[in-house]
A = this chain, B = another copy of it.
């Protein structure tokens, strides 16, 4: 294998596939990065067997030459050292060469790295998904869906299915739902007609996979192609191939958790409420629950308080746009509330309470987007 490549393009590819490579893998060769040169360009692969990422650097694109002098072949490198080496190379042109003994030479300017590689034949082959069962989403929208839901997955392995995000295709809509059983985050978007008859209409993707995917994808209105099989999901853009396993098992039916009626309705500025909860939680940060109290007052005032006997207490009044229905005193986790409010981009949120003991709902007040955040209160009153 031999080729000369632009350092910046190589760096981007390396950074993407590194997201899938773990030094703590039980399969030693997976701590490596596979590099494959073909007549079309260079393919980099990283995998931790849960997630696999391929990044492709084309020989030429839009009239710009990225790779030259390709002699096809492949090799596996110690992944750990690759990002630093590439980043610190002195020149923009990088020559990479491997011989039959898996010795790799990386040359740039007057610098020369001799690295011990491994046989690419020993690297597991990634499954090639049949991509008939595919649909497309704008990248920006997929990133929003992940950001607005994946934070709510469970971090405990007690119920492994809850560490994933449930994706459902139903009634011409696609819905992302995540819950750790103390709170729930969901968002629905309409999809176009192509999805009719899509065979995998209820899958669960590990939250970790989605978070890594979100880090790799750059904001863009371009489309991403999503293909699903019984146990894997593939996200594909022009030069990226991101494969994740799916979680086994049935995701709990969450729709019945959502109260249908409410007793107290509040509309309030998202940022005002977020900042006020943030301040109220300052003194209680280290406590496991980090509980704040909310009390409705006269004249559209919400009183937010918290109390940490050793340090002190915080009190604040925030003016709501409107408070309708029964008076309310309720306690909840400040962190859950802040996560939920951060997931909502609208200027105003609408909060529906059904008494101090029942879960409450947070939605964008303008309802332009079907985002729903649910939080279970903490019993203190």
Contact = CB atoms under 8 A, between A and B. Distances in A.
Interface stretch (A11-19, A77-85, A350-358): A77-85
Interface stretch (A141-149, A164-172, A261-269, A314-322): A314-322
A311 to B, nearest CB: 6
A116 B311 contact: yes
A111 interface: yes
A110 interface: yes
Interface in A83-122: 84-85, 88-90, 104, 110-116
Interface stretch (A205-213, A226-234, A271-279): A271-279
A277 B180 CA distance: 49
B275 A78 contact: no
A311 B78 CA distance: 7
Contacts of A194: none
Nearest to A115: B312
B317 A110 contact: yes
A283 interface: yes
Given A81-B311, A311-B78, A311-B81, A279 B114 contact: no
A81 B84 CA distance: 38
Contact of A88 (B90, B112, B275): B275
B282 A85 contact: yes
Counting from the closest, the 5 A-B pairs by CB-CB distance are: A115-B312, A111-B316, A112-B315, A110-B317, A114-B313
A31 to B, nearest CB: 12
Contacts of A112: 314-316
Nearest to A113: B314
B113 A312 contact: yes
A103 B10 CA distance: 60
Interface residues on A, range: 20 to 34
B81 A111 contact: no
Interface string A298-315: 000000000000111111
A274 to B, nearest CB: 11
21 contacts: A78-B311, A81-B282, A84-B282, A85-B282, A88-B279, A89-B279, A90-B276, A104-B312, A110-B276, A110-B316, A111-B314, A111-B316, A112-B315, A113-B282, A113-B283, A114-B312, A114-B313, A114-B315, A115-B283, A116-B311, A116-B312
Contacts of A88: 275, 278-279, 282
Q: How many copies does the complex hold?
A: 2
B78 A111 contact: no
A286 to B, nearest CB: 9
Given A110-B318, A114-B315, 14 more contacts: A81-B311, A85-B279, A88-B275, A88-B279, A89-B279, A110-B276, A110-B316, A110-B317, A111-B276, A113-B312, A114-B313, A114-B314, A115-B312, A116-B312
Most buried by B among A110, A310, A317: A110
A199 to B, nearest CB: 46
A293 to B, nearest CB: 14
A158 B279 CA distance: 45
A39 to B, nearest CB: 28
Nearest to A112: B315
A314 to B, nearest CB: 5
A318 B114 CA distance: 18
Contacts of A276: 90, 110-111
Contacts of A313: 113-114
Nearest to A282: B84
Nearest to A312: B115
Nearest to A111: B316
Q: Which of A112, A279, A310, A318 has most B Cβ within 10 Å?
A: A279
